[in-house]
Structures are given as C-alpha cells and as structure tokens.
Structure 1
C-alpha cells in the first residue's frame, strides 16, 4: 500500500475517470446564448467512446513528447531510454511508449509524427502531428522552449498552408498534457508553497486560454490530461527511500485538478456538443500505485533507472563515457522508469483503467 504522509485522502473525492461536461463554443466568461444546459455527466460521455478520430494533434510536455526535443541535449535521446521500444533511444521519455501512444492505438490512427520530423515522409502527416516538447509548461520554464502556448503557433501555420483542412480538424482528437513543469520551475525560483495556490490559478487560467485557442482553430474534441499525483513521483519520494507519497503536494495537485475541471465546465455548460474532456490521470495512477495485491509492480514507487547519486540522472555519463546510472533488471515490473516518468508498462496500466472505463460506455 502506498501510504501518504498526512491524512488528506478525503480531499481526493470519488474516483472520476473521464469527466465530461455538456458544452459548447468556448467563451470563458459567459455563454454566447442565454440557454444553459446543465447536464454534468460524471462518467464517460458516449460521444467520446463513439468518436473515432482520424488524426491526433498533441500539445504538452514529456508525458506526450515522442521526439521533438533536440537530440544533442535531451535525455530522451540517450541510452537507456527506448530500450523496450523501439529498442534504442527515440526521443520518448520512457523505456518504451508514452501517454500519446495509447489513445492513438485505442482510437485507431497511428501515433502522430513529431513536428520536428514532419519532413521525414509526408505520408505520416495524415495521422496528425505532435507538438509536445519535454520540459515545457504553459509558461516558460528554464529548461525548455517552446511552451504550450507557443506550441499552437505551428498548427496555425500548417492550417494557413492548407496542410490540414477544416474537415481534418473536425475529425481530429487534440490531446493536451500538463504534467507539472510550471510548478517545479516555480519552486526552483524559490516560490513559496504558501503562494502556490495563487500560481496554480494562473497556470489553469492560461491552460484554459490555450484550449480555447485550440478549439477556435476548429477542433471538435479536446482531451486535457489532469495532473498526476506529483507527490508520488520518485523525484518527490526519493527523500523517503521511495516508500510514501507526499500528501501535501498531492492536495495541491487536487486543487489544480478541481480548478481545471471547473475551467472546462464553464464553457462546456453552454451548448450540446462537448468539445472538452478531462482525462483524469490522478485516479488511475493512485489506483495502480495502491494495488496491494498486484504482483505486477512489487515496488511501485521505485524508479527503474536512477543516477548513482543525486548529481546524476538516468542516461548520464561522465567525461569518459562511463555510465553514472543504474537500471533495474526488468522494466516490465516497474511502474516508474526514471524520477518523473512511467515505464511503458506503467502507462499501459494507467491507460487500461481509462480504457476499460471508455469501453463500458
């Protein structure tokens, strides 16, 4: 059982896997028409289950990036990343597939090509495009550009160049991830935990503007990932030998997720066709990490690949090329790959909980 320090589990509420709200043309201030339809569906909307996108457009960070980060600097291009799939480093922050790959496989189109590799073969452009960039947030972070707000620009450009038509966009799924880089950047700048709720509000407001903009380009279905339990990431639990989640951090995550659901509910309350779906990662993460009967992940909070001391990370080498990290024997039995990211099996376990909920509808 993954114990949480501090008893704040009551904050987490009931397990909502995919939250959808009835919705309309987005206006964050008020509805364009006086008709308010208040049908809150706290289950999978049938529309998402029957929606079969022909393309995916992806925005976000390392949970979704499939190869946009520069080869020269990103750990995702270094050994041992990619050892499970495709067998060598390929720009994914995992031993194998990442979050983007699972809905792509579930809905049918193949994983969209990273924007950086779009010239590789124009036939791949037909599956959509991935603009996500490891390390970014909705605002600038010290380690990575372009932020999520800027990631929307190249799509606008491709639409202007008629690479994608209005019909393409209407039959597409947009996936937006926001995995907490804004918050680690904020804390690295010595922002205080006490003022963090104020900053969380700013982040969610900007995220709401970003998804409004994506919707404004013509996307009919936009899935926004909720925040995973940051208090359970190995980077957080290392100080406790990967034994217990930090409940204080997780309660702030819950605050972010509640604000995000509310921000989506506002525009979604206006008309009958819901463009916004929240993909709740928090509940399946916690469910997998708390599954005491599971032999699948015997040490769920422990990462597979870890630097030999705190100054090194997975994939790092010294000036002689000697590796400065250790990897576990079998990534399939680990939920976390490195200090921040799940393994392929970790993502599979999370997505199977989302997917089974999808199928029930």
Structure 2
C-alpha cells in the first residue's frame, strides 16, 4: 500500500472517530481510554469500598480522626481519605457514585448519573456482626431501585458492577469460634456464595462484573501486631491464597459457561498489596505494616474516646508515608499505591 493511500485511510479513520465522539459521546484518547459517558459504577461489598453508607451512630468511619487527610473531616470512609471506590471511579473518569444512604434522603436526579454505592462496612457475603445488609441484600436493594425505574436496563448494560469481599466473613468465623481445620471448607462456602451473587448481578443485566481478590489478611495490622508489626502471618496468607485460587477458578468457569471471557473479571488486590508491601519505598511509603491510627491499649481502637470524650488513640505524624490507617484498612496513600500498581498491570483490560 503506497503512502498516499495510507494517509487517506488514516484521515478517514480520524474523521470517523471524531464523528463517533460527537454522536455517541465517546472520548478517544491515548492509552486505551475509550470512555462511554453513559457508563456508571455500582458498588457492592464492605468497608474497602464503603463511602458513607454505614450508620453514623456506629464507631469508626464517621468519627475523628477518619477523613483527616481528605477532606479534613469524617465522611464515612474507613480511611484517612479516599478508598478503593474513589480510585476506581477516578480511572473510569467518573465522580464517586453516591451512597444508597443519600438516595434514602432523596437526592437530585443528576446525582444518579455516576451510579450508586450499596457497600456497608463490616458486612460479608453472609451475615456478620455488622448491622448492615450482606451482599445478597445489597443486590436486592439495587434490584428494587431497578423495579422502581430509578435505573434502567440500558443504565445497567453500559455500566460496571464492582464487588468487594475483603474478609469480614472470615473475621466473623474466627470470632464465633470457627476452627482452623474447618477454615478451608468455610472458604469454599464464601467463594460459592460470592459466585451466586455474581450470577445474580449478571441476570440483572450487567455485562461487566469485577470482583476484588482477597487482600493478604496476614499482613493487616490486626495480624502483624503479634510480631510488633514486623512480619506477615503466613498461615493467614496461605488461606487467602486458597480463597483467591477458588475465586479465580469460579470466575473462569462462569466465563466459559457463557462463552464470554470479559463479563466476569478479577481485580487482583492481593498482588497490588503484596507488591507495595514488598517495595514500599517505591511509593514513598516508610511504614508498611504498623497502622497510623491505633488505640492506646487493647481495649481501644482508632477513633475511640472514653466516657469523658477523651481521645484514647494516637495518630502518626504523616499518614501519607504510612500504608495502613488502622488495624484493617489502608491509608489514602496506601490505596493510591495499590491503585498505581493495578494500573501498571492493565486496569483497562479489567474495567473496560
């Protein structure tokens, strides 16, 4: 093909892309970013993605010093600032979707255009000690909004469902005297219920359903405290590996059954955490396992106050150089580091 023909074809392609951009609302940019303006983000899960659904009367995310970095006050996020939902929305070129809690208070219709967040801190795929709805109930709440025509089938098919399973089922299992020998069987039941929930979301019309892999629970401060925050608990991380292997097998099977390898995808949170924790200095993280905010004794935790409203917690000087915020959750800097690692590995293939 001669150069004149090549230039003619390239010019025609450019013109087509410009026309498509104007007619169908596409933004064609370098680096794969083809963004549908109609795309929305719907979020289901727990505290890793909760942006304010948890009841304000509950201790934690609505109390100081949560939100100390951004926006400077508590917003219901289990961090000093932004959480995973905010970073996923950022990548999709969306504003963070409103919480279902705000919808209950009636919000302007234009606030619905970015999607909605149904996640509640402390919840799991099964019932836990949290008063929030479990994942099945969260999906049922969303389905009710669809029945009420708050969201249409077109909204759903053009959107992404993100599902977070960050380990509350396992914490509850251990807290209610679940045995270590019985753990593998319980893990299988958690993955099985997660799979049922993914199928439910697909039946509602989602064409892209992303589920987060389980983070290394053995590296959370609640597990590393036993070693004065020096090393991860390998036993817990081996169990996490089992969870993630079963989840990967299940998602692969789901895609094979519908002959579409793009409907169900896994966001590898585990690898993101592990990469950052193994090389924290590359993300300007100086403290990798010790939490920034912690209680002054074992009976207190981040945000605790006594009967006289005296603070019973300590906060580090610089949350931006610490990976973990409290005993379970990353700081905004921690989430940003994980997000950067995930972006390097091809978020486009997972979220688009």
Superposition TM-score, scaled by structure 1 size: 0.84
CA contact (8 A) 1:134 1:144 kept: no
CA contact (8 A) 1:56 1:129 kept: yes
Report whether the alignment pairs 1:193 with 2:193. Answer: no
Deviations 1:263-294 (A, max 9, x none): 11111013135211100111110111111654
Question: Helix, strand or coil: the match of 2:142?
Answer: helix
Report whether the alignment pairs 1:230 with 2:203. Answer: no
The aligned residue for residue 267 of structure 1 is 254
Question: Helix, strand or coil: the match of 2:110?
Answer: helix
The aligned residue for residue 323 of structure 1 is 311
The aligned residue for residue 300 of structure 1 is 288
Q: Aligned to 2:326, which of 338, 341, 348?
A: 338
Q: Aligned to 1:110, which of 87, 90, 95?
A: 95
Distance 1:136 1:74, change over 3 A: same
Runs of at least 5 residues in structure 2 that lack an aligned partner in the other structure: 1-30
CA contact (8 A) 2:43 2:118 kept: yes
CA contact (8 A) 1:52 1:107 kept: no
Distance 1:147 1:295, change over 3 A: closer
Deviations 1:193-250 (A, max 9, x none): 1110000000000000001101110011011000000000001101111000000100
Report whether the alignment pairs 1:257 with 2:244. Answer: yes
Runs of at least 5 residues in structure 1 that lack an aligned partner in the other structure: 1-45
Q: Aligned to 1:154, which of 114, 138, 141?
A: 141
The aligned residue for residue 5 of structure 2 is none
CA distance in 1, matches of 2:34, 2:221: 33
Question: Helix, strand or coil: the match of 2:265?
Answer: strand
The aligned residue for residue 177 of structure 1 is 164
Question: Helix, strand or coil: the match of 1:314?
Answer: coil
Report whether the alignment pairs 1:77 with 2:65. Answer: no
Considering only aligned residues, what root-mean-square deviation do their CA atoms show, in Å? 1.8
The aligned residue for residue 55 of structure 1 is 40
Offset at 1:51? 7.4
Q: Larger RCO: Structure 1 or Structure 2 (Cα < 8 Å, ≥ 6 residues apart)? A: 1
Which has more helix, going by share of residues?
A: 2
CA contact (8 A) 1:131 1:151 kept: yes
Question: Helix, strand or coil: the match of 1:351?
Answer: helix
CA contact (8 A) 2:208 2:262 kept: yes
Deviations 1:163-218 (A, max 9, x none): 11111001111110000000010001111111100000000000000011011100
Report whether the alignment pairs 1:355 with 2:343. Answer: yes
The aligned residue for residue 163 of structure 1 is 150
Distance 1:185 1:48, change over 3 A: farther
CA distance in 1, matches of 2:218, 2:108: 41
Offset at 1:296? 1.4
CA distance in 1, matches of 2:277, 2:34: 26
The aligned residue for residue 93 of structure 1 is 78
Distance 1:150 1:292, change over 3 A: closer
Distance 1:126 1:255, change over 3 A: same
Superposition TM-score, scaled by structure 2 size: 0.86
CA contact (8 A) 1:303 1:338 kept: yes
CA distance in 2, matches of 1:83, 1:48: 32
Moved more, 245-254 or 47-56: 47-56
